[in-house]
Amino acid sequence: MQKASDLSGGETMPAQAPLPPVPHSFFEYLRSFGPGIVIVLTWLGAGDVVDMGVAGANYGYSLMWVLVVAVLMRFLFVSLIARYQLCNQHGESVLDGLARLHRGYAPILFVAAIVMGHVYESYMTVGAGEVCRNLFRRGETWQWALLCNATALLLIFRPAYERLEAVFKILLGVLAVSFVGSALWVGCDVAGLAQGLYRLSLPEQRGSFDPLLVAVAMVGAVGGSLMNLAYPYFLEAKGWRGPQYRRVQFYDLLLAVAAMILLNLAVWTLGAELLYPDKQIKALDDLPQLLSTVLGNSGRVLFYLGIFAAVYTSVLGHAAGLAYLGSHAWLRWQAGDQPIRADYRQHPLYRWLAIWCLVSPLIWTIPGMPDFVTLTLIANSAQVALLPLLAGGLWWITASARYIGAQHRNRWWENLIMGVLFALAIYGAVNSVRSLIQFWQGN
């Protein structure tokens, strides 16, 4: 792993394994791809499936362009993060760069990894259990959740990136067959889909949320997502260290983001074709059940397999990524301005954080447990503060020659994009705090 460097610069980690060869031919590039798939499928979860289905149900094809803009902006944003990881003049990681900007980043991100590790995985653990129960129509949610998380813990308890990447590639295939296959099976309005992608307009409000708010929320969440910071760790685990890997990293992430757009649009299409304009979905189970009435039980099974792949890649990716981030942040915090002398991947805290992320959320699957909405609201209110903090800090270190170096600092249009994301992050944070205040006042 590169890095965990002294804040004054210089390599401090133990000797690394030999770097993988830099690809040159088309097929070498294809064989090298991986970290982009891991991070993109980590981002893609059950919430995206519901959100895309709801957007299609509420607005048909008319807001599809917002999804594409949001995902492409995330691609550019995360690509700049990767540029810092691979090309900065200090030979340090992104977290070290943020700590160089202000030492408070390390303890904040350590606490965030613990808190959000529980909250993120609570959603996903319950989701994985419910999907398996609904798919096989036997057992209880807690039993399936226990099995899924135990298997996940076996996969990530000790860092083994090659194995993790192989699992993600298999599940990407399942996702493609499930979501794209279901959309093709149902059929779509090709002209409406094309118009939704290029006609930049906002429809009249349907459902609970104004379409402008939906559009801003889709884009504004890009800059402050904690999981953006997991991507450098997957690059590190792949062995990509240094500017010579910048090209393969760029194409790797581009291909993965294109796959993400395709998968999201497939689910959106299902919502638009099956639900718009008269029906709505409110739960994860609604769309598969509706598919069963249209396509039969085979359609239900096919779509549930895709939902499971989406949920389970998030379970794995969040646990591994946040364990990496948390253990590194702890070591950076404890070292202060001094070099880090340990490899965060081999530190016992990595394994404890992996256990925390995959075991603690199981409490929410126990029969009779209360809903964890309040916990989620409290934790998300804390994460709201991270939105401008992360977007602003990452903008600073990628724009300043003092941090990334004059050769690789942002160009004017990249600074423009980062500035827009920072402004939207502030806007989203203010509106989230306002919504939370209204929630507490109403209860």
Is 141 part of any domain? yes
Dihedral angle computed from the Cα positions of residues 44, 50, 51 and 52, in that order, rounded to the nearest 10 degrees:
80
220 versus 294: the higher-pLDDT residue is: 294
SS3 content of the chain, % helix, strand, coil (to 5): 75, 0, 25
The per-residue pLDDT for 415 is: 94
Return the closest-CA partner of residue 271 out of 255, 252, 248, 294. Answer: 294
pTM: 0.89
Say what percent of the chain tops pLDDT 70. Answer: 82
pLDDT of residue 54: 76
Does 261 reside within a domain? yes
Is residue 319 over pLDDT 70? yes
pLDDT digits (tens, 9 = 90+) for 351-387: 999 999 999 999 988 887 755 445 555 555 556 667 7
Helix (H, G, I), strand (E, B) or coil at 2: coil
CA distance 89 to 206: 50
Q: Is the pLDDT of residue 286 over 80?
A: no
More confident site: 271 or 393? 393
**Residues 398-432 pLDDT 10s:** 999 999 999 999 999 999 988 988 887 787 777 76
CATH number at residue 198: 1.20.1740.10
User: Which range (216-220, 224-228, 283-287) has the least confidence?
Assistant: 216-220
Average pLDDT, whole number, for the chain?
85
Residue 10: per-residue pLDDT: 39
- Judge whether 5 lies within some domain: no
Which residue range is the domain that position 233 belongs to? Answer: 26-371
Is residue 299 domain-resident? yes
Q: How confident is the model at residue 5 (pLDDT cuts 50, 70, 90)?
A: very low
Q: What is the total count of domains within the chain?
A: 1
User: Is pLDDT at 439 greater than 70 in this prediction?
Assistant: no
Residue pLDDT, tens place only, 42-66: 988 776 777 788 778 878 888 888 8
* 273 lies in some domain: yes
> Is residue 383 a part of any domain in this protein?
no
191-211 confidence digits (pLDDT tens): 888 888 888 777 776 655 566
Section 221-241 average pLDDT: 85
Number of helical (H) and strand (E) elements in the chain, helices listed first: 19, 0
CA nearest neighbour of 131 among 320, 357, 314: 314
> Is pLDDT of 23 > 70?
yes
Assigned domain for 310 exists: yes
Confidence (pLDDT) at 188? 84
| Mean pLDDT of all residues in 106-110 | 96
Query: In this predicted structure, what is the pLDDT of residue 209?
Result: 57
Residue range 238-265: mean pLDDT, rounded: 94
Banded model confidence at residue 284, pLDDT cuts 50, 70, 90: low
Residue 20 falls inside a structural domain: no
173, two tokens: 């295939």
* Dist. CA 249–CA 244, nearest whole Å: 10
Asked if residues 4 and 328 have their Cβ atoms less than 8 Å apart, the reply is yes
* For range 219-234, the mean pLDDT: 77
